[in-house]
Amino acid sequence: MSHYPFCSSDFKNEPYWWDLTPRPAAHALPLPATTEVLVIGSGYTGLHCALQTALAGRSTLVIDAADAGWGCSTRNGGQISGEIKPGYAVLARRHGAADAVALVGAARGALDWLGGFVAENGLDCDYRQCGRYLAAHNSRQFQRLATAARRQIPGLEQKQQVVEKRDQSSEIDSDFYHGGLVIEHHCGLDPAKYHQGLLRLAQTNGAQVIGHCAAVGIEREGDGFIVRTSRGSIKARELVVATNGYTGAVTPWQRRRIIPIGSYMLATEPMNPGFAARLMPASRVFSDTRRIVVYFRRSPDGERLLFGGRVSVFESDPLRSLPALRQEMLHIFPQLSEVKISHSWMGFVGYSFDSLPHLGTRDGIHYAMGYCGSGICLASYFGHLIGLQLLGKAQGNSVFNQPRFQTRPLYRGKPWFLASAVRYYQLLDRFI
């Protein structure tokens, strides 16, 4: 059914990725009464953690309120950077120069780690080191990018190439941007294929994964926990919260520290191959310098444009935000005005107040979350680390255990301040 005149006749209000990787069939597996390790949330964080504990021979159960991988891990843009939001200068002010280098370096190391993980395990997920084009939305931002590329922080140098606006057609068929920066080692993948490969790997190694089983209450019992779920209670020795942008009332401490922010995506219908290739000839992943960022890329088969951004503060129905998102796309690519939209979807990205990802243990409950939109690589790596930490292995220790996981007075998990913050950032984007 078509919803707007610009939608294709086979339009779906769900992720494009699910066409190729349908949601796993819901098996009514019996819920075990006990497990050594219980992981709440079956995205990249939960599955990577479960893989480690299962490999170590611990009985491991992963539960999810919906289908396995229903959250962001099968809905994202498939762009992998290994970058944390705050830049070196901000981190150096907050934590000192040495820790700033350590934090940025550890996050970038996660990108190499993920590439190795995908290759070693032969995961079929269209993983490609395609590079990123970071496009400047005005000339001031272009100057800022060019200066930063010339004066890279010692110890954090990376292969980058400044592209002037006049040379930009080799990267993008658009006059919208004022030049940009190619970051060679950033990558792309199909997020749902990656999730499916990871799910199979965790299961093959002994982790049990049960969908449609929401955790609704947690109580301490002896040296473990009783977790009440929508399908009965489970006794667990160790408990891991891996719910990121979907963190809810069952873990109020974590909920007070995560700001769920909607991110929206669309896919176009398949385009003529020559036309699609001309849009982004080098076939990289793209994002821009705006604070209210947009991001886009071609689908792994090269036929479609996948375009995302933060176009609405209040909507959770991507259909209602679709006209605004399409408009953003047409500002950059007016030549797509006749191309139909085949999919639209959204998900909740988990932000933290200091824009850093966090992992650790609170009241005996392990957690890893707050990836601020860079979770393909960071959620995977943090899930892996939290699994190792739970096993008491020194390789699990991370510099990211150190920064305090902050909240704010009166914040309970509903970001009432978001609308004004977004409007403020949109204003800054217009002028700075």
Ligand X SMILES: Cc1cc2nc3c(=O)[nH]c(=O)nc-3n(C[C@H](O)[C@H](O)[C@H](O)COP(=O)(O)OP(=O)(O)OC[C@H]3O[C@@H](n4cnc5c(N)ncnc54)[C@H](O)[C@@H]3O)c2cc1C
Can you tell me the distance from the alpha carbon of 279 to that of 282, in angstroms, rounded to the nearest whole number?
A: 9
Q: Does 371 bind ligand X (CB under 6 A)?
A: yes
DSSP 166: G
Kindly indicate which of the ranges 218-226, 271-279, 372-380, 406-414 contains the residues binding ligand X, using the contact rule CB under 6 A. Answer: 372-380
**By the rule CB under 6 A, 77 interacts with ligand X:** yes
Interface residue with ligand X, options 54, 56, 60, 64 (CB under 6 A):
64
43-62 footprint of ligand X as x/- string (CB under 6 A): xxxx----------------
The CB-of-408 to ligand X minimum distance in angstroms stands at 21
Q: Does 250 bind ligand X (CB under 6 A)?
A: yes
User: Pairing relation of β-strands 160-163 and 180-183?
Assistant: antiparallel
Which of 63, 91, 202, 339 touches ligand X (CB under 6 A)?
Answer: 63
State in angstroms the smallest separation of the CB of 189 from ligand X: 9
**Whole-angstrom Cα distance, residue 14 to residue 236?**
34
Whole-Å CA distances, 22 to 15, 190, 196:
10, 13, 10
Q: How does DSSP classify residue 270?
A: P
The yes or no reply on residue 373 touching ligand X (CB under 6 A) is yes
219 alpha carbon, distance to own chain's centre: 30
Strand pairing class (341-351; 259-268): antiparallel
Mutual angle of helices 375-390 and 97-120, in 10-degree steps: 90
- CA distances (Å), origin 204, targets 30, 50, 105, 349: 18, 11, 32, 29
- The Cα 2–Cα 6 span in angstroms is 8
21-29, 200-208, 246-254, 412-420 -> range binding ligand X (CB under 6 A): 246-254
Residue whose CB is less far from ligand X, 181 or 376: 376
User: Which position among 61, 376, 386, 390 is part of the footprint of ligand X (CB under 6 A)?
Assistant: 376
Buried b (16+ CB within 10 A) or exposed e, 293-305: bbbbbbbbeebbb
In the complex, minimum distance from the CB of residue 213 to ligand X, in angstroms, rounded to a whole number: 7
Compute the least distance from the CB of residue 44 to ligand X, in Å. Answer: 4
What's phi and psi for 184, nearest 5 deg?
Answer: -65, -35
Contacting residue, 11, 16, 17, 42, with ligand X by CB under 6 A: 42
Is residue 349 part of the contact set for ligand X (CB under 6 A)?
yes
* Helices vs. strands in the chain: H and E counts, helices first: 11, 19
Query: Does the protein bind ligand X through residue 208 (CB under 6 A)?
Result: no
Which position's Cβ is nearest ligand X? Answer: 375
1-40 footprint of ligand X as x/- string (CB under 6 A) = ---------------------------------------x
> Given the rule CB under 6 A, which residues bind ligand X?
40-46, 63-66, 70-73, 75-80, 214-215, 242-246, 248, 250, 263, 265, 308, 346-347, 349, 369, 371, 373-377, 379
